[in-house]
């Protein structure tokens, strides 16, 4: 057996070896904390630089962590995460949409109404924005958009990569529009209220966040349009699917699927009333759709539509992130960050805004979980606000906006992962990193501009 290792991979393994030696030799962490950090870095490196499937990478790194001393129960707890069952259910529902004929109908609708790329982009922005106000989970919004993306692939085959990146990134950018756009918003506001007895209302978040969300969405479209070139599609490829644009009455199967999907969305919207988690609602409704009596889709066929690589990766990556919290690795970096911040010249307001924006945006490179970033960063920055007599509401809001940027790697966002694991893969990790290279400084720059020209005049003063 011959193993081919490129020069880049050789350098990466050397860097990993040196980093591991530094972790175990210098960093003041417990043994299990050092193991957790090393395995997390290994998983991130393999995911970005190797061709090993994402699910296999995550599970192998988790197994390595267990062999080095992490409790075995962490492996089995990986599949107790609600997000795992949410995604399984979402993939099954997406398969039902395709099998029932609703997807073909959606393709026909888009062929009639979204005849240009500009119209399709406007349709995506408006639809994602509406979903942001109604569906409080980024992964749920991404899963709901999968049939639309499939329709876009048929309508615009040369722009598969463009739309494959635009949809999940737009989901992330428009998260800034509303308080329920992400679970991290609710966590951050809850921590703020618990520590300072101050809060950010739904209306206040909307007034501060919506203009930023719309502006950064326009910038995102421009960056992607400039950077992602149309793909070359052969005549054979482009003619494999025929779009029937004539209007046809709904079949009984389409009606049944539409009713069940409508009930699912209604249950998503009324979570606060019935009390059942979105993940439970999704998996329960997907199981109902699998009943043979409904004749929507077979059990085996539905399970084949689930991206098991994504499921295994999300499960393992979530646990690897939890290990960093459980064994105080995150606390260690939090303390190091606070010491570094105290030594900086933060008397100037512009520098403070730059610092908050940069640290919160870059945090996704270290802490992949959106929720974990909120749990870790918000208390630290509230403490900073109290030490420097700053406005904690402004601090928390700016940090929440910064944390919503997680575009660099697919692992940084479940919305990105859902699209990344589609077959055929719509974009590569290299393409995503290149887009982030341009988009990240623009995101930070817009945050700074928004503070000085809008937020501070709308009551969001730091001092």
Per residue of the chain (463 residues), give pLDDT as tens: 455 667 777 888 898 899 999 999 888 889 999 999 899 888 878 876 777 877 888 899 999 999 999 999 888 888 887 778 877 887 888 788 878 888 777 767 776 777 788 888 998 898 888 878 766 678 778 877 887 888 888 888 888 889 999 999 999 999 999 887 887 887 788 788 877 878 888 788 889 999 999 999 999 999 999 888 776 444 434 434 444 556 678 888 888 988 998 898 788 767 778 888 777 888 999 999 999 999 888 899 888 888 787 788 778 877 887 788 788 887 787 777 767 766 666 667 888 899 899 999 998 887 777 777 787 788 778 877 877 788 999 999 999 999 999 998 887 888 888 888 777 788 888 889 999 999 999 999 999 999 999 999 998 888 7
Alpha carbon of 49 to those of 18, 97, 242, 338: distances in Å?
Answer: 17, 35, 38, 31
Alpha helices in 159-291 (DSSP H): 160-173, 183-196, 202-227, 235-238, 252-269, 271-274, 278-289
| Distance, CA of 36 to CA of 40 (rounded, Å) | 6
DSSP 190: H
CA distance 205 to 367: 24
Name the DSSP letter for residue 292.
Answer: G
E-strand ranges in 31-107 read none
Per-residue tokens: 79:
């599949």
- In the numeric block, the tokens 């149309």 are attached to 230
Ramachandran angles phi, psi of 389, nearest 5°: 55, 50
Distance CA 317, CA 311 (A): 10
* Two tokens, residue 197: 């007895």
Surface-to-core class of residue 25, CB atoms within 10 Å of its CB (0-12 exposed, 13-18 middle, 19+ buried): exposed
- Cα–Cα distance for residue pair 220/237, rounded to 1 Å: 29
pLDDT of residue 88: 86
Q: How far apart are CA 209 and CA 205, in angstroms?
A: 6
**Cβ neighbours of residue 450 under 8 Å, at least 6 residues apart?**
211, 212, 215
Per-residue confidence (pLDDT) for residue 172, from 0 to 100: 94
CA pair distance 340, 359, nearest whole angstrom: 12
Token digits for 8?
């880049």
Secondary structure (3-state) at 145: helix
For residues 216, 217, 219, 220, the Cα torsion angle rounded to the nearest 10 degrees is 110
CB 166 within 8 A of CB 124: yes
| pLDDT for the residue 233 | 45
For 406, phi then psi, to 5°, come to -150, 60
Cα dihedral: 78, 273, 179, 460 (round 10): -130
Please give the torsion angle defined by the CA atoms of residues 415, 421, 426 and 430, in that order, rounded to the nearest 10 degrees: 80
Residue 63 has a CB neighbour count (10 Å cut-off) of: 15
* 24 sits in which H/E element: helix 7-25
CB 93 within 8 A of CB 289: yes
Place of tokens 């790329």: 117
**232-238 LR contacts (CB < 8 Å, sep 24+):** 232/158, 233/157, 233/158, 237/157, 238/157
The tokens for 350 are 């512009």
Whether residue 224 contacts residue 230, with contact meaning beta carbons closer than 8 Å, is answered with: no
Q: Say what the pLDDT of residue 231 is.
A: 63
Q: Please report the pLDDT score of residue 308 as a whole number.
A: 83
Cα–chain center distance at 158: 25
| Whole-number Å distance between alpha carbons of 237 and 88 | 30
Give burial (CB, 10 Å; 0-12/13-18/19+) of 11.
exposed
């Amino acid at each position: 057996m011959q193993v081919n290792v490129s020069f880049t991979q050789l350098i990466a393994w050397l860097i990993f070896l040196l980093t591991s030696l530094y972790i175990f030799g210098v960093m003041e962490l417990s043994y299990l904390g050092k193991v957790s950090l090393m395995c997390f870095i290994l998983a991130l490196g393999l995911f970005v630089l190797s061709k090993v499937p994402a699910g296999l990478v995550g599970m192998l790194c988790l197994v390595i962590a267990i062999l080095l001393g992490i409790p075995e129960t962490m492996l089995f707890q990986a599949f107790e995460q609600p997000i795992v069952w949410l995604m399984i259910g979402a993939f099954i529902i997406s398969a039902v949409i395709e099998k029932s004929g609703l997807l073909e109908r959606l393709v026909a609708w888009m062929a009639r109404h979204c005849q240009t790329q500009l119209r399709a982009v406007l349709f995506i922005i408006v639809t994602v924005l509406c979903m942001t106000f109604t569906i409080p989970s980024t992964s749920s919004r991404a899963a709901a958009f999968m049939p639309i993306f499939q329709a876009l692939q048929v309508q615009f085959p040369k722009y598969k990569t463009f739309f494959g990146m635009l949809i999940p990134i737009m989901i992330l950018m428009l998260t800034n529009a509303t308080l329920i756009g992400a679970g991290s918003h609710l966590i951050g506001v809850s921590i703020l209220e618990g520590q300072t007895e101050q809060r950010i209302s739904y209306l206040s978040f909307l007034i501060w966040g919506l203009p930023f969300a719309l502006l950064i969405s326009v910038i995102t479209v421009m960056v992607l349009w400039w950077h992602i070139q149309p793909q070359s599609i052969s005549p054979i490829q482009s003619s494999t699917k025929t779009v029937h644009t004539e209007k046809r009455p709904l079949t009984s199967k389409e009606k049944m699927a539409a009713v069940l999907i409508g009930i699912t969305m209604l249950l998503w919207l009324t979570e606060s009333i019935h009390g059942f988690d979105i993940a439970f609602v999704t998996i329960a409704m997907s199981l109902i759709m699998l009943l043979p009596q409904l004749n929507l889709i077979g059990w085996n066929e539905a399970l084949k539509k689930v991206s098991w690589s994504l499921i295994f990766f999300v499960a393992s990556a979530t646990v690897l992130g939890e290990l960093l919290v459980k064994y105080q690795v995150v606390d260690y970096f939090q303390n190091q960050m606070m010491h570094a911040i105290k030594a900086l010249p933060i008397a100037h307001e512009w520098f403070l805004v730059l610092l908050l924006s940069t640290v919160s945006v870059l945090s996704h490179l270290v802490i992949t979980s959106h929720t974990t970033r909120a749990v870790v960063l918000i208390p630290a920055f509230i403490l900073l606000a109290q030490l420097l007599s700053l406005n904690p509401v402004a601090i928390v809001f700016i940090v929440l906006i910064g944390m919503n940027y997680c575009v660099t790697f697919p692992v940084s966002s479940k919305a990105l992962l859902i699209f990344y694991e589609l077959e055929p893969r719509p974009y590569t990790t290299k393409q995503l990193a290149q887009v982030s290279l341009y988009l990240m400084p623009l995101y930070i720059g817009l945050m700074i501009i928004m503070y000085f020209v809008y937020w501070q005049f709308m009551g969001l003063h730091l001092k």
